[in-house]
Structure 1
């Protein structure tokens, strides 16, 4: 602990041998009838060995004894003969002590330190260089404090050591010469005799004021200040970024609730439809539209008919499917004519007045078994028009910082493309197919945008089996009369082309199976292999793939990428 100042006061306490109780209370005499000294600037710290943190050294001033004859002779030039010694204090009393001696010789100073260590209650050592200067004493590495022992005195001492200016030291030493006898011999003894008992002791008491903060070097203090400023700056920045991200999450959630943003259609987050929402979608009976009623009657089934897709002259061939417009007409009743005759998932025709279909808010229709599995496990978007099936004002997921970052980057990418188009430039490519994986021109954002259409609806097999004439179907498709013999037409179904997908190579149904059931089971198998992850989706997988230090830094600074 570095000394900030010293105070010397005159105290009075009764002779322990004259009282029948233990006295630990000293009376500080008024400065008008006693000596007092306060030094606030002319003190130097030489050693802090043994200094207690938070406790200032204090005690009765005394001059230690020297042992050698040479030091005793030299001492007479600097220490008065009547200066207070241990013999001038009550014997066998553990009073707190402060040693006081001049620094005039290396050998004599070592003897002063040795005598002070013999007193177990010594709490400090005050010294001074002989002279008449009132300047602050020199620092420790000055040659004036060299005892030629390699600094061993600092390690041997069990108390701190402080130095006073020469003038202050001489002044205190002169007062020690005056306050060493009985009450009648001290200055103003007559006045004190009328107040205190004549057997009381009147001695000098010293207290050293220390500053515990001064123990740190100036470099460490500077480093601590810089570290504190950095921590405050990091904490403030992190708090501001957390508040900003929270506002952005709330704003994105509000836009989702207002219907301005569709997270799945935008490519930000995969969503599914809950069973409660799915139960609210109507299931109605499909009825044939006007266009079906105007078709010519079909020819009666022949005993032996050609398989669909077989030409009488050229043999097997594939004909394009004739599709009707997919947008159904609006209706207010359950039995209404629709213009969508086929389920887009299983590619099976609806039977008029028989097939139960589920109608989505976008007016597209599907078999309930097909679309329910798709919406519950794959996506919340219609497989046909990619419109959301979720009700307006619904946000089924918790908005995270990843979603906010994706949505902002997608909006920025679209704005950049719109700006480029408006200025006659060529917009950057949105996606490039490399190795079968969609990669965006803007890194992960491009993957998020282009990758949505991959899992929104099941992929169609590239080589789909040709239509099969089922033995159990009630309606046969008319074929043109052929002059060729019937025996020249193959009766077996067309072979399915090779495919790498085992589900695409699934064998067609036997004549005893129902074609609709086979097609539905095949669609369910396709959907079952493409269901959405239940725990970690694409966003979390990409986030977990980042280095740990980036993820930790992102928790402190949410906007960091």
Structure 2
């Protein structure tokens, strides 16, 4: 521990032999009637042994006694005769002491150290006489050697500090003045009127040390700035996590309340769990009124609806609008009176385009009253989407919410709501200005990317199909039994489906005499007989169209992709893109 400053003060304390109790208190005298000498520079640390952090040395200042007459004679020119010695202090006490002596001869310094080791010394102050006010030499300088190889440092149990020559001379001179009775010290008569004549007035030394590992001011500033940045980042991260958690809980509650349909607005691709799918009614198709068994199955449905085109729900925004003109495989059902059930007038499965056989084909009816082959619709609902392939009505019960609501889902839903509000404002503005043509795409959507384009198209009324994109070209349409298809124009080259095993690159002579290659490979003409083979072929064709594209488990592609630093920032700052 290096010494940073040394303070020399004058203290007053009573004679312990005149008291009936132990006294370790003392009074520091004022600088107007006593000696005060703070030393703040030109201090050299020669040995720091015995000093710990927070344990600064202190004690009564005195000069140790020498043993040899030769050293005593040499000392007379440097140490005043009446300087404070150990005999001038209370005897047989455990008061802390600080030794003080001039460094003039190696053998005499060894005697000083030996005498100090026999007393309760906390530190030793030395100075080299006649050296002016210069900084004392470094601890490894030859002038501090005692011809013992430096063993004196390890033998002492106290630290040793060197003062400038002029500072040592001043302290030594004051030691000669504060060594007698109370009335013999400077301002003794004034002090005698305040304190008891038997009290001691002596010099006290306090050494302020430091570990020497103090950081420069620049590094301290940098550490403070770094600490502030870490605190700001931590606070911001916690705040953003709380906000995202609140938004996730809010979206979950709105989904449970039926205010938001995640798949209808294009936020998340949902599928129907098997336990919900098994609750959908399945019965035998009839072309008349439902039989008693189907009536019982439909009576279990909570809110049946007619097989009519429902108001169009945008696949991205979920906004209800006027139904767009579209062809449907389910014809309009006439309105019945007296609560009679509607007739099953949907003769064809919209997925595989195969006709239903009366009193033979098993069909599954969705809550929207559209019917399908169970094999066709079950595969679609379990693997692709929870919306009806016909009218985009959700098959899931009201209030169904996925197990995990992610930040990506929250961000997309908020973006869709903003786009919807902006579209509504633009529509009102266009109506007020008498505009006949609605704006197809808002300029602000151009920078949003693919999601913005899909949302923009959905907001202005464009229908977005929720089924996965086709991985293969659209196959030729299947002509249903009894359907009459118009002949193609003579100049239009349309591919002619071939039978299984036929080379698709074969050139077929058309009725007009021109050669038309089959441009669609991988599809064959449906077999004409028997009917069961045709149905199986149609079902396989429907499965090929669906493509079995399974949706992501949690729609977290954006969160789990990208470089590591970006994923790390997303964890610290949720919502970071």
1:114 Cα deviation (Å)?
8.2
Q: 1:516, 1:37 → 2: CA distance? A: 118
Say if 1:379 and 1:194 are closer, same or farther in 2 by CA, change over 3 A: same
CA deviation digits over 1:53-93, x for unaligned, max 9?
Answer: 122223553447999x99999975663234356899999x9
1:207 Cα deviation (Å)?
4.2
Say if 1:30 and 1:478 are closer, same or farther in 2 by CA, change over 3 A: closer
Structure 2: state its 5+ residue gaps: 290-326, 486-495, 505-517
Q: 1:110, 1:228 → 2: CA distance? A: 52
CA deviation digits over 1:497-547, x for unaligned, max 9?
Answer: 4436x4x4587576474322332243345446322344xx5x423322222
For 2:441, the equivalent position in structure 1 comes to 427
For 2:81, the equivalent position in structure 1 comes to 81
Say if 1:32 and 1:464 are closer, same or farther in 2 by CA, change over 3 A: closer
Tell me, what secondary structure is at the counterpart of 2:134? helix
Tell me, what secondary structure is at the counterpart of 1:266? coil
1:338 Cα deviation (Å)?
2.6
Q: 1:194, 1:254 → 2: CA distance? A: 87
For 2:533, the equivalent position in structure 1 comes to 514
Please tell me whether residue 339 in structure 1 is matched to residue 345 in structure 2. Answer: yes
Say if 1:40 and 1:205 are closer, same or farther in 2 by CA, change over 3 A: closer
CA contact (8 A) 1:101 1:128 kept: yes
1:52 Cα deviation (Å)?
2.0
**TM-score scaled to structure 1, two decimals?**
0.62
Q: 2:25, 2:475 → 1: CA distance? A: 113
Please tell me whether residue 407 in structure 1 is matched to residue 380 in structure 2. Answer: no
1:280 Cα deviation (Å)?
2.5
For 2:467, the equivalent position in structure 1 comes to 456
Tell me, what secondary structure is at the counterpart of 1:550? helix
Task: Return the match for 1:541 from 557, 561, 565.
Answer: 557
Say if 1:5 and 1:206 are closer, same or farther in 2 by CA, change over 3 A: closer
Q: 1:14, 1:87 → 2: CA distance? A: 15
Question: What is the aligned-residue RMSD (CA, Å)?
Answer: 5.8
Say if 1:80 and 1:443 are closer, same or farther in 2 by CA, change over 3 A: farther
Please tell me whether residue 267 in structure 1 is matched to residue 273 in structure 2. Answer: no
Q: 1:344, 1:280 → 2: CA distance? A: 21
For residues 13-412 of structure 1, the aligned pairs below 5 Å read: 27-28=23-24, 31=27, 43-44=40-41, 46=43, 51-59=51-59, 61-63=61-63, 79-84=79-84, 98-101=98-101, 108=104, 123-126=122-125, 144-147=134-137, 159=159, 161=161, 170=170, 174-175=174-175, 179=179, 206-208=205-207, 215-288=214-287, 324-325=329-330, 336-412=342-418
Q: 1:82, 1:457 → 2: CA distance? A: 107
**TM-score scaled to structure 2, two decimals?**
0.61
1:395 Cα deviation (Å)?
1.0
CA contact (8 A) 1:65 1:112 kept: no
Say if 1:478 and 1:402 are closer, same or farther in 2 by CA, change over 3 A: closer
CA contact (8 A) 2:134 2:165 kept: no
Say if 1:252 and 1:205 are closer, same or farther in 2 by CA, change over 3 A: same
Q: 1:362, 1:110 → 2: CA distance? A: 110
CA contact (8 A) 1:3 1:45 kept: no
1:414 Cα deviation (Å)?
3.9
For 2:520, the equivalent position in structure 1 comes to 499
CA deviation digits over 1:147-206, x for unaligned, max 9?
Answer: 38898999987837486998998468634775599xxx9999xx99999xxxxx998764
Tell me, what secondary structure is at the counterpart of 1:263? coil
1:223 Cα deviation (Å)?
2.9
Tell me, what secondary structure is at the counterpart of 1:98? strand
Tell me, what secondary structure is at the counterpart of 1:100? strand
Say if 1:41 and 1:74 are closer, same or farther in 2 by CA, change over 3 A: same
CA contact (8 A) 2:274 2:382 kept: yes
Say if 1:543 and 1:242 are closer, same or farther in 2 by CA, change over 3 A: closer
Say if 1:412 and 1:4 are closer, same or farther in 2 by CA, change over 3 A: farther
Say if 1:205 and 1:446 are closer, same or farther in 2 by CA, change over 3 A: same
For 1:314, the equivalent position in structure 2 comes to none
CA contact (8 A) 1:273 1:389 kept: yes
Say if 1:354 and 1:114 are closer, same or farther in 2 by CA, change over 3 A: farther
Tell me, what secondary structure is at the counterpart of 1:515? helix
Q: 1:448, 1:555 → 2: CA distance? A: 28
Say if 1:88 and 1:335 are closer, same or farther in 2 by CA, change over 3 A: same
Q: 1:53, 1:153 → 2: CA distance? A: 29
Q: 2:136, 2:532 → 1: CA distance? A: 112
- The alignment of Structure 1 onto Structure 2 pairs a total of residues equal to 470
Say if 1:359 and 1:75 are closer, same or farther in 2 by CA, change over 3 A: farther
Q: 2:35, 2:365 → 1: CA distance? A: 97
CA contact (8 A) 1:329 1:338 kept: no
For 2:479, the equivalent position in structure 1 comes to 467
CA deviation digits over 1:538-560, x for unaligned, max 9?
Answer: x4233222222222222222243
Q: 2:237, 2:94 → 1: CA distance? A: 58
Please tell me whether residue 446 in structure 1 is matched to residue 452 in structure 2. Answer: yes
